[in-house]
Chains A and B, each alone.
Chain A
Amino acid sequence: MMSDQTAVAQVQPVRTEAYLDFLQMLSGVALVMFMWAHMILVASVNLDLGGGRVMNWIAHFFEATYMAQIGGPMIALVMLAHFVLAARKLPFKAREQKEMWRHSVRLNHLDTWLWVIQAVTAFIILIMGCIHMWTVLTDLPITAQKSGARIQGGWWMLFYIFLLPMIELHVGIGAYRIGVKWGWIKRSNRQFFHGLENKITLIFITIGVITLFTFYVLVKPM
């Protein structure tokens, strides 16, 4: 029996780890795309200075076509899958965590710190992202007025102002590192993409802050 399996293993290499890493990349790309799109859609509330006509129209469109009802849970599933796939790379043993931390402090190397940031923000996003999705998706339809009322309650403002940079850091670093790991970012253009990542992250954080300001100050709650 044993020798049969050995023979089979010799014919074809085990490919599971390759598939899982490939899926991790795909789920990462999908989530990056989603987060950027999400930010642009939510920021539509700024277009008429918090009046909410554009945002409500977009929200209505997504609900009328059932994209919110189906897409929302789908994104949650992708996020869950991404979490499971990416967490395979995280240190869960105390010894590994200690080594990684010691190493990061000792080497004090930017890209290594970026990864540590990504690993930490991941868990914050996992928890806060779930809370956010549950709150919004169990209270459809989405309207600017309802979101405004929630944010003006105060606690949600704190919640979002904290979650925003966590997401943008995780996503920006993630996009950069996908490029590095899959060889699209090379030694010759690494500086450029590093700069681009910083700029994109900053731009999205800025849009996010402006949008939160609009919700907090300009939107008339119901």
Chain B
Amino acid sequence: MGRPLKFNIFRYNPEDPASVPHMESFHLEETDAMTLYIALNRIREEQDPTLMFDFMCRAGICGSCAMMINGRPDLACHTKTKALPAEINLMPLPVFKLIGDLSVDTGTWFRNMNERVRSYIHTDKVFDPNADEERMSNELADEIYELERCIECGCCVAACGKANMVPNFMGATAFNRVARFMMDPRDQRKTDDYFEIVATDDGIFGCLGLLGCEDVCPKDIPLQDQLGMLRRKMGWASVRHLFDKILPGGDAKKK
């Protein structure tokens, strides 16, 4: 017989005027290899069909199922109940707009983020469908892929003190996205172009270096290294600009 598990789940439906935010408890017996995905689906099927939560791939790929699991953002589908105590608190991710219960709208946030960092390859080359593909070294392709693995789950944003304080803060996932395009030789943007996007108090210079993002990312993306690289690059770019401006013979507009 498996452990008896107690789930304390946040309940609130903003669409329903009669609904008030509260915690509701559910009980389940633990089964072999049970994940929170399995547990939540059983609760919905067997105990309360109105329970709201998001899932798609149940394999850590789509990023829909992120929630606060005992206070820590993580993917429900790859969290085994075995790794948790018998009492499990589930809350929706903070920062994002609540849809209901455990379901939040990460889509709008991420769309906005992608627009802000202009998340596509900027080039004025005209695409020639008949030409050979441009080549790229395997190492570089690997490095880009490492950052490309972000599944937009929102865990890093929920774990970020700054993002919790300041809704307009870009968040580590945006810095990671920018770092990915800076690496890409096909993107013709220059440091100044990126500077305009991220070098603000809502961008990299607002990052407090708390590394909540780094410590929770379920895909283990090296966020810390991107934050450091970006701040240093943008910091030096501004200092170099200043020197160019104040030193004789310098010309800030050259770059």
Q: Which A residues contact B (CB, under 8 angstroms)?
A: 12-15, 17-22, 25, 88-89, 91, 96, 99-100, 102-104, 106-109, 111-112, 114-115, 177, 180-187, 190
Q: Which of B166, B207, B241 has a CB less than 8 Å from the CB of A181?
A: B207
- Whether, in the assembled complex, B72 has its beta carbon less than 8 Å from a beta carbon of chain A, the answer is yes
How far apart sit A109 and B94, CA to CA, in the bound complex (Å)? 16
- Whether, in the assembled complex, B39 has its beta carbon less than 8 Å from a beta carbon of chain A, the answer is no
How far apart sit A96 and B166, CA to CA, in the bound complex (Å)? 7
How far apart sit A102 and B212, CA to CA, in the bound complex (Å)? 14
How far apart sit A14 and B200, CA to CA, in the bound complex (Å)? 8
Contact residues, B204-238 vs A (CB, 8 A): 205-212, 214-215, 222, 224-225, 227-229, 231-232, 234-235, 237-238
Given known pairs A13-B192, A89-B206, A111-B212, the reply for A183 and B227 (CB within 8 Å) is: yes
Q: Which of A88, A100, A183 has a CB less than 8 Å from the CB of B228?
A: A183
For A187, what are the chain B residues with a Cβ–Cβ distance below 8 Å?
214, 222, 224-225
Given known pairs A115-B210, A181-B209, A181-B228, the reply for A19 and B215 (CB within 8 Å) is: no
For A13, what are the chain B residues with a Cβ–Cβ distance below 8 Å?
192, 195-196, 199
For A20, what are the chain B residues with a Cβ–Cβ distance below 8 Å?
205
Main secondary structure of the interface of B (DSSP, over half): helix
Known contacts A22-B235, A180-B209, then 16 further A-B pairs from the complex at CB < 8 Å, ordered by chain A residue? A12-B252, A18-B199, A21-B235, A89-B208, A99-B165, A100-B164, A100-B165, A103-B94, A106-B94, A109-B159, A111-B210, A111-B215, A112-B210, A182-B231, A183-B232, A186-B225
Q: Which B residues contact A (CB, under 8 angstroms)?
A: 68, 71-72, 94, 159, 161, 164-166, 192, 195-196, 199-201, 205-212, 214-215, 222, 224-225, 227-229, 231-232, 234-235, 237-239, 241-242, 252
Q: How many A-B residue pairs have CB under 8 A?
A: 109
A186 touches B212 (CB 8 A): no
B195 touches A183 (CB 8 A): no
**Closest B residue, CB atoms, query A113:** B210
For B242, what are the chain A residues with a Cβ–Cβ distance below 8 Å?
15, 19
Q: Which of B161, B241, B252 has a CB less than 8 Å from the CB of A100?
A: B161
How far apart sit A184 and B161, CA to CA, in the bound complex (Å)? 22
Minimum C-beta distance from A69 to chain B (A): 31
Minimum C-beta distance from A174 to chain B (A): 10
Minimum C-beta distance from A222 to chain B (A): 47
A-B contact pairs, 7 of them (CB 8 A): A19-B238, A22-B235, A96-B165, A107-B159, A177-B208, A181-B228, A183-B225
Q: Which of B161, B196, B211, B232 has a CB less than 8 Å from the CB of A103?
A: B161
Minimum C-beta distance from A15 to chain B (A): 5
How far apart sit A146 and B205, CA to CA, in the bound complex (Å)? 45
For A106, what are the chain B residues with a Cβ–Cβ distance below 8 Å?
68, 71, 94
For A177, what are the chain B residues with a Cβ–Cβ distance below 8 Å?
208-209
Minimum C-beta distance from A162 to chain B (A): 26
For A111, what are the chain B residues with a Cβ–Cβ distance below 8 Å?
209-212, 215
